[in-house]
Homo-oligomer: A and B are copies of this chain.
Amino acid sequence: MRIAVDAMGGDHAPREIVLGAVKAARELSGLTEIILVGDSAAIQRELDAGGGAPATVRILHAAEVVGMDELPAQAVRRKRDSSINRAMELVKRGEADALVSAGNTGALVVAATLMLRTLKGVDRPAIAAVMPTRKGPFVLIDAGANPECDAPLLRQFAVMGALYSRVILGRPNPVVGLLGIGVEASKGNEVTKEAFGLLKDARINFRGNVEGHDLFEGEVDVVVCDGFTGNVVLKTSESVARAIAHWMREEFTRNPIRMLGAMLLSGARKSMKARMDPEMYGGAPLLGVNGICIKIHGGSSRCAAFHGIRVACASAHEHLNEMIERAIESSSGAK
């Protein structure tokens, strides 16, 4: 597999991205080439500082970078020579089998949609965020690509999410839930009520509506919603976790006895953190475009970059997109 990596995207780029890529090049079998796309001097500097790189790592220069706060459509159109555009071109021309980026999510969606186009039967691509629960990860789709969705689009998301859950996350028969505000089919907004019927008839293991309450219980493998709701869920969850961590730090350092207790629990707190860390699951694929694109968190460390590349390899290896097209086709009898 040949993976194009946007070396300039994310808060800790290029360093963490480059180091994660080097680790991937050293450790992942089946990875034949990593193309680090971005400012060649800056990338080379990180490679040198990191003690060099295997021969499978090469650099493709791109002079521009899309900032995290830039307007996506504008940035993609104007900054022709940005790392995300150049990396996407590699995928488009078949010179890379997949792409990994920690950069501007909107720009990734726009660039992928413009250059790769959507898969057959898919109207719009969706971001499938992978999130931890008590019992393993679940896929939240769409996590932000489409603020407005109609019911047939939600059905496509459900099929794509279920496939990803099965093929990449290894859930044998993924349980799919439709995010709503009550378990009855009659509860929700107009779009979810219509989607309920479509999902019931799709070839997926549809459990019905799920509520916010159920998300982190691990009873459902795929949660389907519009990109507005999904993005709010994703960010709210991070916000709650951060607030709790903050309260914990405050309370655990209030007096010497508590500080001793916290010391005895430092191992426990580390493994809690690891279990709650979505980095392990390899980021969020952009599903539905004609090419493998993996979005990793803007704050990605080398570990997140490594896992993103691992999942990109696996997705390409499994021919994920061909499988999505077939699944969409066979499930769309009810459309």
- Among A217, A228, A235, A238, find the residue whose CB has the most chain B CB atoms closer than 10 A: A228
Q: Does A251 contact B (CB under 8 A)?
A: yes
- Docked-complex contact B263 and A276, CB < 8 angstroms: no
Q: Does A240 contact B (CB under 8 A)?
A: yes
A188 — which chain B residues lie within 8 A by C-beta? Answer: 147, 228
A257 — which chain B residues lie within 8 A by C-beta? Answer: 264
- Among A187, A215, A236, A254, find the residue whose CB has the most chain B CB atoms closer than 10 A: A236
A147 — which chain B residues lie within 8 A by C-beta? Answer: 181, 187-189
Q: Does A133 contact B (CB under 8 A)?
A: yes
Q: Does A26 contact B (CB under 8 A)?
A: no
Name the segment of A44-52, A206-214, A284-292, A308-316 touching the other chain. A206-214
A71 — which chain B residues lie within 8 A by C-beta? Answer: 184, 186
Q: Does A172 contact B (CB under 8 A)?
A: no
Q: Does A63 contact B (CB under 8 A)?
A: no
**0/1 per residue, A250-277, Cβ < 8 Å to B?**
0110100110111111011101100110
A254 — which chain B residues lie within 8 A by C-beta? Answer: 268
- Among A71, A186, A264, find the residue whose CB has the most chain B CB atoms closer than 10 A: A264
Given contacts A181-B231, A216-B242, A237-B240, could you give 15 more A-B pairs where the C-beta distance is less than 8 Å?
Answer: A134-B243, A147-B189, A148-B189, A211-B231, A212-B237, A213-B235, A215-B240, A232-B233, A247-B276, A251-B269, A251-B272, A251-B275, A252-B265, A258-B268, A262-B265
- Docked-complex contact B258 and A264, CB < 8 angstroms: yes
A198 to chain B, nearest CB (A): 18
Q: Does A248 contact B (CB under 8 A)?
A: yes
- Docked-complex contact B181 and A247, CB < 8 angstroms: no
Contacts of A215-233 to chain B: CB distance below 8 A:
215-217, 225-229, 231-233
Q: Does A119 contact B (CB under 8 A)?
A: no
- Docked-complex contact B134 and A247, CB < 8 angstroms: yes
A239 — which chain B residues lie within 8 A by C-beta? Answer: 212-217
- Docked-complex contact B246 and A134, CB < 8 angstroms: yes
Instruction: Tell me whether chain A's interface is mostly helix, strand or loop, or mixed.
Output: helix
- Docked-complex contact A215 and B236, CB < 8 angstroms: yes
Contacts of A144-182 to chain B: CB distance below 8 A:
144, 147-148, 179, 181
A265 — which chain B residues lie within 8 A by C-beta? Answer: 251-252, 258, 261-262, 265
A-B contacts, 26 of them at CB < 8 A, read: A71-B186, A133-B243, A134-B246, A144-B181, A147-B188, A148-B190, A181-B227, A181-B228, A181-B232, A212-B233, A214-B239, A215-B239, A216-B242, A229-B229, A232-B233, A236-B240, A244-B276, A248-B272, A251-B269, A251-B275, A252-B268, A258-B268, A260-B261, A260-B264, A261-B264, A264-B264
